[in-house]
A and B are shown apart, each in its own frame.
Chain A
């Protein structure tokens, strides 16, 4: 019934204050670990490896002391897409996907529908991967403040500035985008409420709710875009008023320093992800 509370469902990008081991880790370590595990997820297509990776991600969630229920609630808005994707993969992949460590076998062939053990595997692995990625990315933003994320990314990109990579600007673009997700969600909520108050079929239960919403998206998108542009302009003005110039010899109040926990976490996860990537074909199933 609480049809308008988007922030209940958008968990990515929402910082949750806390004092867990994951919260205290150096942002550079967290970003690196996220990247390592994403690489491992990208390369592994076997059931066993993905279960191990999912368990590892669950382990991170437990360590962060953020409720699993909260992170899982972030899946809710994506469920329709996952389902549609899964159905398409299941029905149409056929022989195109060769299953891991097994012969391709047809399970069902009926007209143009062709289900093989490969397409079944693909659906399961895709869902597992989606969950792993969701856990990782939510967790990174749930436990790291935006400024830590920016500074961490910038520090990691600084070695590349010698070959002309604009590290500071890239970090700024990335974190501004992340920061705006909850802001725009909140604004969308206000606009939805305002339009519903003057007769739009939003937040009313009815048949074909999905189709209605799609048709009515215009009453939300136009005001939302106007607002987003206004906010972007305000941000530019505020930055210019403070004489902002991208990263020129700026000193930092807090210098990052790797503690022992950071080194341990960094190298453990580096070794883990490397092993998972190198031995990706060694899993029995």
Chain B
């Protein structure tokens, strides 16, 4: 990462909702993070910690107006003259339950909404729709003329994510976008996202309450609690401090917990594993050594 410019830089960000009303609430009180091009970064924190508020700053849905700075691809978002449309093409944000944003009758038309708004020629729009749909595992030929509202929940979600990918963003933010679908769809989605990250070099920002998913998908993690950045580091570093995470209302992946406990009971040298595969290896090692 040395020597490279961060694509997103957040410095001491503050934000209040319902500013100037009796219901004003403070959501952010000092968030600092840096995201480099091509990285996959996780943002974790308990409900109400401010994760969504942070990521909505990244594509200008919320603008920094109190203390703090957000710089995306060299542009300071506090500047009122920022080209918001260009920013939103660069930074694609997928919300929780993104299937709620679908509105067109046919799947293909819905995915084409963004590219059409950009004023691209028809061939290009078609090409982008095809590409975006294949990226999330929806066959273009089979799905483009299906009625949107007859799709299954998992398919609707894929179509909605394709609608954002069709903008060809440099950064893809998923704000709890994999929660609430069946396990198979979730697994497929995670597979597609990690492929996008690895093959196309897409920068991925992944917000999720599911520690297993975070461990599987991202390289680095920021922990947010009560509107502040409280921990950061590589996924392995952060998950090697389970006591701290528990204090912030979070946990570690189950396999990490098991190996951590085995180590505490003296069965294993202290290690942090973050995938089931690594855990399996570590456990086989003690089983083999106790057998001999």
Contacts and interface: CB of A to CB of B under 8 A. Distances in A.
Contacts of B93: 193, 197
A185 B30 CA distance: 28
B17 A5 contact: yes
Contacts of A203: 61, 84
A193 B59 CA distance: 10
Given A197-B88, A199-B118, 12 more contacts: A1-B63, A8-B20, A16-B23, A73-B20, A191-B100, A193-B95, A194-B101, A196-B61, A197-B92, A204-B84, A219-B103, A223-B101
Contacts of B95: 190, 193-194, 197
A113 to B, nearest CB: 39
Contacts of B164: 197-198
A61 B19 CA distance: 21
B103 A7 contact: no
B223 to A, nearest CB: 25
Contact of A204 (B85, B166, B167): B85
Interface residues of B, number: 37
B45 interface: no
Nearest to A216: B117
B80 interface: yes
Contact of A196 (B23, B88, B100): B88
Contact of A14 (B19, B23, B88): B23
Interface string A35-71: 0000000000000000000000000000000110110
A198 B167 CA distance: 7
B250 to A, nearest CB: 25
- Interface size on A, as a range, is 20 to 34
A227 B101 CA distance: 10
A140 to B, nearest CB: 16
B100 A16 contact: no
Contact of B167 (A16, A67, A69, A199): A199
A97 interface: no
Interface string B9-49: 00000000111111100000000000000000000000000
Contacts of B149: 226
Contact of B63 (A2, A198, A223): A2
Contacts of A14: 23
Contacts of A199: 85, 88-89, 113-115, 117-118, 167
B163 interface: yes
A257 B107 CA distance: 58
A164 B288 CA distance: 82
B285 interface: no
Contacts of B185: none
A95 interface: no
B163 A198 contact: yes
A198 B61 contact: no
Nearest to B89: A199
Contacts of B115: 199
7 contacts: A2-B63, A16-B23, A70-B21, A194-B95, A198-B88, A201-B85, A201-B117
Contacts of B6: none
B56 interface: yes
A223 B62 contact: no
A130 interface: no
A200 interface: yes
B101 A191 contact: yes
Considering residues B18, B94, B98, B101, which has the most beta carbons from chain A within 10 angstroms of its beta carbon? B101
B58 to A, nearest CB: 10
Contacts of B22: 16, 66-67, 70
Given A16-B23, A204-B85, A197 B17 contact: no
Interface in A167-219: 190-191, 193-201, 203-204, 218-219
A8 to B, nearest CB: 6
Contacts of A67: 22
Interface string B97-130: 0101111000000000111011000000000000
Nearest to A16: B22
A272 interface: no
Contacts of A190: 95, 100
Contacts of B98: 194
B80 to A, nearest CB: 7
A222 interface: yes
A4 B93 CA distance: 15
A227 B99 CA distance: 11
